[in-house]
């Protein structure tokens, strides 16, 4: 194997010194194949190729720890501005299930590709794809695009839904859960051989209400046996919090401890409704203390909850409790710049303190926090031994100039057009804003067609037989001459 070295000179490099990110001005980093071998002021050894980006800032790529990219573009312009008071304004059981039940090969492939474009252009270089029923297909698409991903097959004991619009019911399929667990292990055993470490997996019990205690205990046993990490949706809705409390006499986080799932290999997706949250009316900070005790990670997705009027109470409180915080996009838009901004601003509003959650706190979550959640010390940082997953920000745009603090400029001002190039595993996956082989216009046309087919047929899947216009009214009435 040829060992090629590439040197990069940049105006700013967000480098890692072993303890944390540091702002390196007029710096140099050197990449050999897929790995960073040097970062500093000067490099005197031989370099095969030099890249001078004097008006650029180089940062580690973002690690997006919670996504649903095989379906989420299909919900765009449909689920916003919607809430059902009967389910405490959540649309999980009333609308989301029949909406996402629509699936065909064309819609899935297009959804993954369109999401990949959104992610690359807004800085995601590593992502976790949660709860897919077709992990092989999703993996193949992401591998060809060049993204680093952890693709997580769905594991569940049944489904929650509503049959009358008044309450939720659970349809249990116990054997299905154990069969899906076995398939997840099978996927794990083939991943490394097929994708050379670029695509990995973990165990993904769908959510706490959709898995029996017996299944979750088996998930923990299998994790210990195989070394697979785990992610589960938990403390995601008030309904879930109430149902787990009613059924087991415990909060969702306490329940996770009771089945042995809490650990430093666990990522809790969302984790909004915990003890002490104003909407749960359950006192104390016991849930946060438990998460910190077991060194579990949280995948926080602020935007998808903010659009429903929900916020974490609060990011600063979790961080101060010692919980490893990471960020995810969950659904569209798949924009980590937006997630960092919302995580910081919403925390400031809740705490009534502009110092509560800073740009550095959320940038850490999008990089180092995601790496910790994945158990990867070679991601989310620019230092020798780290994978060469890099973002190149332009510094001469109206948003990025004038620049004094590069991290504040990224978190509070940048948008995807400010990311010019993206390197993953030492290869330029996006150059000058262009992703090779991507016809974005054609992808947009295809997803429009697929979404229209889904909207036209939603009454066949909706519990009340409602049409798309009955479920999600347009912002303004159609013009009628």
Q: How confident is the model at residue 1 (pLDDT cuts 50, 70, 90)?
A: very low
Instruction: Give the closest residue to 73 by CA, choosing from 443, 328, 437.
Output: 443
| Predicted local distance difference test score (pLDDT) of residue 391 | 98
- The helix/strand/coil state of 271 is coil
Q: Is the predicted pLDDT of residue 120 greater than 70, yes or no? A: yes
Q: 318 near 312, Cβ under 8 Å?
A: yes
Is-cis flag, bond preceding 412, omega within 30?
Answer: no
Secondary structure class of 332 (helix, strand, coil):
coil
Residue-wise pLDDT tens digits, 445-460: 999 999 999 999 989 8
- CB within 8 A of 475, min separation 6: which ones? 81
Q: What is the mean pLDDT of residues 244-251?
A: 95
Estimate to the nearest angstrom the gap between the alpha carbon of 17 and the chain centroid: 26
Name every residue whose Cβ is closer than 8 Å to that of residue 412 and which is 6 or more positions away in sequence.
341, 344, 359
Mean pLDDT over residues 147-169, rounded? Answer: 87
Give me 325's structure tokens. 């915080």
The encoded tokens of residue 143 equal: 């591998």
Three-state SS at 455: helix
Cβ(235)–Cβ(273) below 8 Å: yes
Q: How many CA atoms lie within 13 A of 149 on its CB side?
A: 30
Mean pLDDT value of segment 45-70 = 96
Structural domains in the chain plus CATH codes: 5-61+383-434 (2.30.40.10), 62-374 (3.20.20.140)
What are the φ and ψ backbone dihedral angles of 456, each rounded to 5 degrees? Answer: -65, -25
Looking up tokens 């438990």, which residue turns up? 290
* Backbone φ and ψ of 136, nearest 5°: -65, -45
Order of all β-strands in the sheet with 427-431: 35-40, 21-32, 5-16, 49-60, 390-394, 419-424, 427-431, 434-435
Q: Contact at 8 Å (CB) between 64 and 338? A: no
**39-53 residues labelled b (16+ CB within 10 A) or e (exposed):** beeebeeebeeebeb
Choice among 32-46, 55-69, 101-115, 390-404 with the minimum mean pLDDT: 101-115
Q: Model pTM? A: 0.96
The full DSSP string for 165-177 is SSSEEEEE-HHHH
Answer with the residue of higher pLDDT: 368 or 481: 368
Measure the CA–CA gap between 232 and 248, rounded to whole angstroms: 18
> What mean pLDDT is predicted for residues 236-264?
96
- The pLDDT mean for the chain works out to 94
Give me the mean pLDDT over the 377-392 stretch.
98
What is the structure's pLDDT at 101?
61
User: What percent of the chain lies above the pLDDT cut of 70?
Assistant: 98
Identify the DSSP state of 58. Answer: E
- What torsion, rounded to 10 degrees, do the Cα atoms 459, 465, 466, 471 define? -90
With a cut of 90, say whether residue 38 has pLDDT above it. Answer: yes
For 311-348, write each residue's pLDDT tens digit.
Answer: 999 999 999 999 999 999 999 999 999 999 999 999 99
């Amino acid at each position: 194997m040829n060992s090629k070295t590439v040197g990069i000179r940049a105006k700013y490099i967000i480098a890692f010194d072993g303890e944390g990110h540091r702002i390196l001005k007029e710096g140099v980093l050197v990449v050999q194949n897929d790995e960073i071998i040097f970062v500093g002021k000067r490099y005197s050894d031989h370099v095969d190729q030099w890249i001078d980006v004097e008006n650029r800032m180089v940062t580690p790529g973002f690690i997006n720890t919670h996504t649903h990219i095989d379906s989420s573009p299909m919900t765009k312009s449909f689920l916003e501005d919607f809430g059902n008071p009967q389910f405490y304004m959540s649309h999980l059981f009333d609308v989301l299930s029949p909406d996402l039940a629509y699936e065909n090969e064309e819609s899935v492939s297009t959804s993954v590709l369109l999401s990949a474009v959104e992610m690359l252009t807004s800085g995601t270089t590593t992502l976790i794809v949660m709860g897919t029923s077709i992990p092989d297909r999703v993996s193949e698409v992401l591998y060809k695009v060049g993204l680093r991903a952890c693709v997580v097959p769905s594991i569940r004991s049944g489904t929650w839904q509503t049959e009358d619009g008044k309450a939720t019911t659970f349809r249990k399929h116990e054997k299905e859960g154990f069969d899906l667990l076995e398939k997840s292990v099978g996927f794990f055993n083939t991943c490394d051989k097929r994708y050379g470490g670029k695509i990995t997996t973990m165990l993904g019990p769908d959510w706490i209400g959709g898995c029996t205690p017996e299944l979750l205990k088996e998930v923990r046993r299998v994790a210990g046996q195989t070394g697979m990490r785990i992610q589960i949706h938990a403390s995601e809705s008030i309904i879930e919090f109430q149902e787990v409390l009613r059924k087991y006499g415990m909060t969702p986080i306490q329940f996770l401890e009771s089945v042995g799932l809490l650990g430093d290999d666990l990522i809790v997706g969302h984790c909004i409704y915990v003890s002490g949250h104003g909407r749960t009316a359950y006192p104390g900070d016991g849930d946060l203390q438990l998460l910190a005790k077991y060194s579990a990670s949280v995948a926080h997705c602020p935007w998808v909850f903010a659009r429903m009027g929900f916020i974490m109470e609060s990011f600063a409180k979790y961080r101060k409790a010692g919980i490893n915080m990471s960020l995810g996009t969950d659904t569209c838009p798949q924009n980590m710049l937006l997630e960092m901004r919302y995580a910081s601003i919403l925390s400031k509003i809740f705490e009534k303190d502009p110092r509560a959650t800073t740009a550095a706190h959320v940038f850490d979550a999008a990089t180092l926090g995601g790496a910790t959640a994945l158990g990867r010390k070679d991601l989310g940082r620019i230092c020798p031994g780290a994978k060469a997953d890099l973002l190149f920000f332009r510094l001469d745009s109206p948003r990025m100039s004038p620049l004094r603090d590069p991290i504040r400029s990224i978190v509070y001002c940048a948008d995807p057009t400010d990311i010019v190039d993206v390197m993953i595993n030492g290869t330029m996956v996006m150059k000058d804003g262009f992703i090779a082989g991507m016809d974005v216009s054609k992808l947009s046309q295809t997803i429009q067609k697929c979404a229209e087919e889904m909207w036209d047929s939603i009454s066949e899947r909706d519990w009340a037989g409602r049409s798309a216009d009955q479920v999600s009214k347009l912002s303004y009435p159609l013009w009628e001459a």
